[in-house]
Amino acid sequence: MRRTSALNNGTAGVSETPPGGKRPASAAADAARRSAIDEEQEFLDSATARRDRLADHLQAELSSDALDALEQARQRMLRQQYEELRRAREGLVFGRLDGLDGTVRHIGRVGLRDDGEESEPLLVDWRAPAARPFYTATAVDPQGQARRRHIRTTGPVVVGVDDEPLDGTMTAELVGEGALLAALDERRTGVMSTAISTLQREQDDIIRAEATGPLIVQGGPGTGKTVVALHRVAFLLFTHRKMADQAVLVLGPSPRFLQYIGQVLPALGETAVVSATCDTLLPGIRVGRDESRVVAEIKGRALWQRALERYVASLLPRPRELKLRWEGEFHVIAAETVAQALASAVQGRPYHRARAAFAEQLHHLLAEAVAEQREALMNEMEEGFEDILARVDRSMGHDPRAARTSTGSDVDGLLSEEEIEDLRTRIAGNATIARFVEAWWPTLDAGTLLRGLLTDRALLARIAPQLSPEEIAAVSAEPAPWASSDIPLLDALADLLGEVDAPRPQGEFVADHARRQRGWVYGHVVVDEAQELSEMQWQMVLRRCPSRSITAVGDIDQAEAAHRHTSWAQAVRAAFGDRWTAAELTICYRTPREVMELTAPVLKEAGSHNAPPRAVRSSGTAPWALTVTPAELAGAAARAVRQLRQRWPGGTVGVIAPADRVAELQAVLSDVPVLTATQSKGLEWDATLLVDPQGITAEPRGWNGLYVALTRCTQELGQMVLT
């Protein structure tokens, strides 16, 4: 079933058939449309041929015997260029700008030049500055453009064009309205696709914003938050090439969500990207149990960062006199000297790196002590020998002073700098000294420490005095296996303890290396569904991007996590203070107007002061509700899903229900996803069956959950209300 959009097509001149029906077309208009399609087909054929030649050339270079002689950076660049061209087969060309000065620029997935580096671009990369008017020019602000053309393709074939005059003769609410609404009306496949051909101005402004600090993007359902975040990654990697050397981290709310968006960035040609959830950021650590919302909220508070810092600081060795044995002799390092070495080693360093710095100083101190003791011994020997000589001289009537001046040189016992350095090297490689340092300043494991801490109420009370006795009792249960709220605490401890960075294997892509390194520092971090992060999870983000080049997108009104914040200021204050920039997406592209009209009362019940985003399209299908008894639910749900699938052939159907009804529904609905409201966050289907909305509102932060559940569909919403 397809419904006509309630909006006018908004285009002029050449136009393809609008979604949902046919419009009468004169022969002249049809001929003009056909001519435009033929013109763009000719260009697409030319661009495709050029893409193929470049890809073949890169493939030959990558497979040649000379590749091994190239620098690793050059090899990675060639591989990335080849992958970008290889993935650009679909949607290679999607737009055109006709300038007021007569210039014509085609916009595409990648940039292409004709033969010769000095030639004009054959195809302008959508991320390049020259392409920006394609997304931002309007009749009021044409930015030097006379016309914008959206080009729709299927594989290698141009199937339609939409022209928008920018000379003020016609205005449209949306950029490329015809192309956009056609894309929105397409069936969902369960995998997110790119949207580079239909990005809107407010989206493009965020995509191209400076990456100099945290950018927090508020956007309601269907406003394209995820699309904006992912295309921002592609834009930043294109614009700031050095960022690819550090990689970009994309944090999503769930593995299902990451699978859903998994093809977007590779399709845009980007490979220097690591995707993860907060639960999977620590290599080798997995969440193995659920935890109550009460405990999760307590463990998510920012106070744990300072508490864990105090905890690790308490584990540092205390200054004392050290007595070390070297080559059969004992040497004493004074407590005052040890204290100075400790203070110097600890400054700003994690526990294990401070130990390494202290050990290096200890090797020097011991070498000096050995040298000083040897010098003292030699001086004693020399003085004793001189006494003997003096007595002999006196007995023989000689002048001892004359004897001393006649010897030519004295043996002073001093070691040369080279000898002392050799001694220090031998001390540093000595296993006995290493065992002494290990015993005095032992290696610690973050997991062992956290388990010990969370089962010791007295210790918890000392390091986290802000916690009440009741809260300490709540968190001090046996923490094995790990819960989701333990991961940020583990990460904080691992960071405070420190670790040695492993070298990157030769030829390895930066993303593969970064994925295995807990302490990797990224060039940029994108957080989707950011409203769900606890204060300690935000600390995880900051550790991975101390430059604070962070883009966080979400909807504060869809927050369902255990934390208590209800505004972005509350959510990020502990991590960023007031040093962050706010942006907002206000237009709902996904959810039809008929459904969005249901959300205002739900938001009010959720305690929100925000207005829902403005829907710009209508599906023509009114939401419906069916009342059933609990005994009838399974059968009625199966019939409703079957009917929805028949109405939306080739599309997708999703079922959302309270957590306590999911298993029952999964037993009879094996061919469609059955999820809780939280699990459905960020996903979309052509049609949604919402089961027991009252049951969802009864869950913690249930009205927020209902807001999420209502807004997952692109066409049709059905509800099953239990009596």
- DSSP letters, 114-137, are -SSTTSPEEEEETTSGGGTHHHH-
Residue 20 in domain: no
Q: Which residue has the higher pLDDT, 530 or 607?
A: 530
Phi, psi of 484, deg, nearest 5:
-60, -40
Domain boundary among 539, 555, 585: 585
**What number is the average pLDDT over the span 420-426?**
89
Annotated binding residue at 651? Answer: no
56, 176: one domain: yes
- Among 556, 568, 656, smallest CA distance to 606 is for 556
Q: Which residue has the higher pLDDT, 111 or 503?
A: 111
Domain boundary among 566, 585, 604: 585
Which range is least confidently modeled, 11-25, 212-226, 398-412? Answer: 11-25
38, 157: one domain: yes
Residue 487 in domain: yes
- Asked if pLDDT for residue 224 goes beyond 90, the answer is no
Under DSSP, is residue 98 helix (H, G, I), strand (E, B) or coil? strand
Domain boundary among 168, 184, 200: 184
What whole-number distance in Å separates Cα of residue 267 and Cα of residue 346? 46
Residue 36 in domain: yes
- Domain interval for residue 352: 322-387+417-440
List the structure tokens of 133.
């008017």
Annotated binding residue at 226? Answer: yes
**In this predicted structure, what is the pLDDT of residue 72?**
65
**What number is the average pLDDT over the span 42-48?**
94
219, 264: one domain: yes
**What number is the average pLDDT over the span 561-573?**
90
Annotated binding residue at 225? Answer: yes
- Using a CB cutoff of 8 Å and minimum separation of 24, what contacts does 109-115 make? 109/194, 109/196, 109/267, 109/268, 109/269, 110/51, 110/84, 110/85, 110/269, 112/47, 112/50, 112/51, 112/54, 114/50
- Where do we find the tokens 């890809």? 55
**What number is the average pLDDT over the span 484-496?**
96
575, 597: one domain: no
**Beta strands per DSSP E along 555-678:** 581-585, 587-588, 614-615, 624-628, 653-656, 674-675
Give the pLDDT band (50/70/90) at residue 396.
very low
**What number is the average pLDDT over the span 300-315?**
96
- Asked if pLDDT for residue 173 goes beyond 70, the answer is no
**In this predicted structure, what is the pLDDT of residue 193?**
44
Annotated binding residue at 681? Answer: no
Cα end-to-end span (Å), the chain: 31
Give the pLDDT band (50/70/90) at residue 484.
very high
Q: Which residue has the higher pLDDT, 691 or 152?
A: 691
**In this predicted structure, what is the pLDDT of residue 301?**
97
Give the pLDDT band (50/70/90) at residue 196.
low
Residue 53 in domain: yes
66, 151: one domain: yes
Residue 22 in domain: no
- Asked if pLDDT for residue 119 goes beyond 60, the answer is yes
Give the pLDDT band (50/70/90) at residue 267.
low
Residue 126, C-beta contacts closer than 8 angstroms, at least 6 positions apart: 94, 95, 107, 108, 109, 134, 196
34, 171: one domain: yes
180, 43: one domain: yes
Give the pLDDT band (50/70/90) at residue 506.
very low
- Asked if pLDDT for residue 6 goes beyond 50, the answer is no
**In this predicted structure, what is the pLDDT of residue 241?**
78
Annotated binding residue at 222? Answer: yes
- Asked if pLDDT for residue 634 goes beyond 50, the answer is yes
Residue 557, C-beta contacts closer than 8 angstroms, at least 6 positions apart: 220, 603, 606, 608, 610, 704, 707
**In this predicted structure, what is the pLDDT of residue 17?**
37
**What number is the average pLDDT over the span 507-525?**
82
Annotated binding residue at 384? Answer: no
Residue 209 in domain: no
Give the pLDDT band (50/70/90) at residue 260.
low
Residue 74 in domain: yes
- Asked if pLDDT for residue 406 goes beyond 50, the answer is no
What whole-number distance in Å separates Cα of residue 203 and Cα of residue 620? 26
- Asked if pLDDT for residue 328 goes beyond 60, the answer is yes
Tell me what percent of the residues of the chain surpass a pLDDT of 70: 82
CA distances from 639 to 500, 621, 665, 696 (A): 58, 19, 12, 22
- Asked if pLDDT for residue 479 goes beyond 70, the answer is no
Give the pLDDT band (50/70/90) at residue 67.
low
- Asked if pLDDT for residue 255 goes beyond 90, the answer is no
634, 685: one domain: yes
**In this predicted structure, what is the pLDDT of residue 84?**
81
235, 151: one domain: no
**In this predicted structure, what is the pLDDT of residue 394?**
55
- Where do we find the tokens 């309007």? 138
Q: Which residue has the higher pLDDT, 570 or 272?
A: 570
pLDDT single digits (tens) 381-391: 656 555 655 55
Residue 100 in domain: yes
- Asked if pLDDT for residue 313 goes beyond 60, the answer is yes
Which range is least confidently modeled, 122-131, 386-395, 494-503? Answer: 386-395
577, 637: one domain: no
What whole-number distance in Å separates Cα of residue 595 and Cα of residue 597? 5
What is the overall mean pLDDT for the chain?
A: 83
Q: Which residue has the higher pLDDT, 80 or 680?
A: 680
Give the pLDDT band (50/70/90) at residue 176.
very low
Q: Please state the domain count of the chain.
A: 4
- Asked if pLDDT for residue 412 goes beyond 60, the answer is no
**In this predicted structure, what is the pLDDT of residue 165?**
86
Which range is least confidently modeled, 7-11, 293-297, 542-546? Answer: 7-11
**What number is the average pLDDT over the span 138-145?**
84
Strands of the sheet containing 653-656, edge to edge, are 624-628, 713-722, 685-691, 653-656, 674-675
Which range is least confidently modeled, 180-184, 286-290, 506-510? Answer: 180-184
Which range is least confidently modeled, 231-235, 282-286, 438-442, 709-713? Answer: 231-235
40, 97: one domain: yes
Give the pLDDT band (50/70/90) at residue 503.
low
**In this predicted structure, what is the pLDDT of residue 242?**
82
**In this predicted structure, what is the pLDDT of residue 269?**
54
**What number is the average pLDDT over the span 484-495?**
96
Can you state the angle between helices 335-346 and 351-396, rounded to 10 degrees? 150
**In this predicted structure, what is the pLDDT of residue 384?**
59
Containing H/E element for 592?
A: none
605, 715: one domain: yes
Q: What's the CATH number where 574 sits?
A: 3.40.50.300
Phi-psi region of 119 (alpha: psi -120 to 50; beta: other; left: phi over 0): beta
- Asked if pLDDT for residue 209 goes beyond 80, the answer is yes
